[in-house]
A and B are shown apart, each in its own frame.
Chain A
Amino acid sequence: MSLTRQDVEKIAHLARLSITEQEMPVYVTSLSSIVEFVDALSRVHTGDVLPMAHPLDGQQQRLRADVVTESDHHEKFQANAPAVQAGLYVVPRVIE
Chain B
Amino acid sequence: MLHNLSIGELSRSLNSGQISSVELTRHFLARIERLNPALNALITLTATQALESAARADARRAAAGERGPLLGIPLIHKDIFCTDGVRTSCGSRMLDNFIAPYDATVVARLKAAGAVMLGKANMDEFAMGSSNETSYYGPVKNPWDTTKVPGGSSGGSAAATAARLAPFATGTDTGGSIRQPAALTGVTGVKPTYGRVSRFGMIAFASSLDQAGVFAHSAEDAAIVLQAMAGFDARDSTSIDIPVPDYPETLNAPLKGLKIGLLREFFDGLEARNAALIHDALKLYTSLGAQTVEVSLPHLPLSVPTYYVVAPAECSSNLSRFDGVRFGYRCEAPKDLLDLYKRSRGEGFGAEVKRRIMTGTYVLSAGYFDAYYLQAQKVRRLITDDFRAAFGQVDLLIGPTTPTPAFAIGAKIDDPVTMYLNDIYTIGANLAGLPGLSLPCGLIDGLPMGLQLIGPHFSEAKLLNAAHLYQQSTDWHKQAPRGFE
Residues of A whose CB lies within 8 Å of any CB of B are 3, 7-8, 11-20, 23, 26-27, 30-31, 33-35, 37-42, 44, 46, 49-56, 59, 61-62, 64, 73, 76-77, 79-83, 89, 91-94
Residues of B within 8 A of A31 (CB): 355, 358-359, 362
When the two chains form their complex, are residues B380 and A52 in contact, meaning their CB atoms are under 8 A apart?
A: yes
Interface string of B430-458 (1 = CB under 8 A from A): 11110000000000000000000000010
Contact of B101 among A15, A27, A76, A89 (CB under 8 A): A76
Contact of A61 among B237, B328, B329, B340 (CB under 8 A): B237
Nearest chain A residue, comparing its CB with the CB of B306: A41
CA of A90 to CA of B337, assembled, Å: 11
Residues of A within 8 A of B363 (CB): 38
When the two chains form their complex, are residues B371 and A19 in contact, meaning their CB atoms are under 8 A apart?
A: no
Contact of B457 among A13, A15, A54, A56 (CB under 8 A): A56
When the two chains form their complex, are residues A42 and B378 in contact, meaning their CB atoms are under 8 A apart?
A: no
Q: Which listed segment binds A: B4-12, B160-168, B343-351? A: B343-351
Known contacts A51-B380, A56-B238, A92-B335; can you find 20 more A-B pairs with CB under 8 A? A7-B362, A8-B358, A15-B345, A18-B347, A19-B346, A34-B308, A34-B359, A34-B416, A37-B308, A41-B379, A50-B381, A51-B377, A52-B378, A55-B195, A56-B433, A59-B238, A62-B237, A80-B97, A89-B325, A94-B337
When the two chains form their complex, are residues A17 and B416 in contact, meaning their CB atoms are under 8 A apart?
A: no
Q: List 11 A-B contacts (CB under 8 A).
A: A11-B362, A11-B365, A15-B316, A23-B351, A37-B417, A41-B306, A44-B299, A44-B379, A46-B375, A80-B99, A82-B329
The CB with the most chain A CB atoms within 10 A, among B343, B345, B378, B433, is that of: B378
B326 within 8 A of A: yes
Residues of A within 8 A of B21 (CB): none
CA of A87 to CA of B87, assembled, Å: 22
Q: Which of B301-357 contact A (CB under 8 A)?
A: 302, 304-306, 308-309, 316, 320, 323-330, 334-343, 345-347, 349, 351, 354-355, 357
Residues of A within 8 A of B362 (CB): 3, 7, 11, 31, 35
CA of A15 to CA of B99, assembled, Å: 26
Residues of A within 8 A of B336 (CB): 92-94
When the two chains form their complex, are residues A89 and B417 in contact, meaning their CB atoms are under 8 A apart?
A: no
When the two chains form their complex, are residues B326 and A55 in contact, meaning their CB atoms are under 8 A apart?
A: no
Contact of A15 among B299, B361, B379, B430 (CB under 8 A): B361
CA of A15 to CA of B335, assembled, Å: 19
When the two chains form their complex, are residues B326 and A41 in contact, meaning their CB atoms are under 8 A apart?
A: no
When the two chains form their complex, are residues A16 and B342 in contact, meaning their CB atoms are under 8 A apart?
A: yes
Nearest chain B residue, comparing its CB with the CB of A8: B358
Nearest chain A residue, comparing its CB with the CB of B385: A49
Residues of B within 8 A of A11 (CB): 358, 361-362, 365
Q: Lowest 7 A-B CB distances belong to which pairs?
A: A55-B433, A18-B346, A51-B377, A82-B330, A52-B381, A46-B378, A80-B327
**Given contacts A55-B209, A92-B340, are A82 and B305 in contact (CB under 8 A)?**
no
When the two chains form their complex, are residues B208 and A80 in contact, meaning their CB atoms are under 8 A apart?
A: no
When the two chains form their complex, are residues B358 and A27 in contact, meaning their CB atoms are under 8 A apart?
A: yes
When the two chains form their complex, are residues B101 and A77 in contact, meaning their CB atoms are under 8 A apart?
A: yes
CA of A89 to CA of B328, assembled, Å: 13
Nearest chain A residue, comparing its CB with the CB of B375: A41
Residues of A within 8 A of B240 (CB): 56, 59
Q: Which of B228-266 contact A (CB under 8 A)?
A: 234, 237-238, 240
Residues of B within 8 A of A30 (CB): 355, 416
B425 within 8 A of A: no
Nearest chain B residue, comparing its CB with the CB of A26: B351
Contact of B305 among A40, A49, A76 (CB under 8 A): A40
When the two chains form their complex, are residues A44 and B382 in contact, meaning their CB atoms are under 8 A apart?
A: yes
CA of A41 to CA of B382, assembled, Å: 12
When the two chains form their complex, are residues B361 and A55 in contact, meaning their CB atoms are under 8 A apart?
A: no
**Given contacts A81-B325, A94-B337, are A18 and B345 in contact (CB under 8 A)?**
yes
CA of A19 to CA of B353, assembled, Å: 12
B98 within 8 A of A: yes
Residues of B within 8 A of A49 (CB): 378, 381-382
Residues of B within 8 A of A92 (CB): 334-337, 339-340
B92 within 8 A of A: no
Chain A proximity of B475: nearest CB distance (Å): 35
When the two chains form their complex, are residues A17 and B381 in contact, meaning their CB atoms are under 8 A apart?
A: no
Chain A proximity of B409: nearest CB distance (Å): 19
Chain A proximity of B355: nearest CB distance (Å): 6
When the two chains form their complex, are residues B381 and A51 in contact, meaning their CB atoms are under 8 A apart?
A: yes
CA of A18 to CA of B324, assembled, Å: 13
When the two chains form their complex, are residues A53 and B379 in contact, meaning their CB atoms are under 8 A apart?
A: no
Contact of B417 among A34, A52, A80, A94 (CB under 8 A): A34
When the two chains form their complex, are residues B305 and A18 in contact, meaning their CB atoms are under 8 A apart?
A: no
When the two chains form their complex, are residues B377 and A53 in contact, meaning their CB atoms are under 8 A apart?
A: yes
B40 within 8 A of A: no
Nearest chain A residue, comparing its CB with the CB of B434: A55
CA of A33 to CA of B299, assembled, Å: 22
Nearest chain B residue, comparing its CB with the CB of A20: B346
CA of A50 to CA of B374, assembled, Å: 9
Chain A proximity of B2: nearest CB distance (Å): 37
When the two chains form their complex, are residues B376 and A38 in contact, meaning their CB atoms are under 8 A apart?
A: yes
Chain A proximity of B440: nearest CB distance (Å): 27
When the two chains form their complex, are residues A55 and B208 in contact, meaning their CB atoms are under 8 A apart?
A: yes
Chain A proximity of B433: nearest CB distance (Å): 3
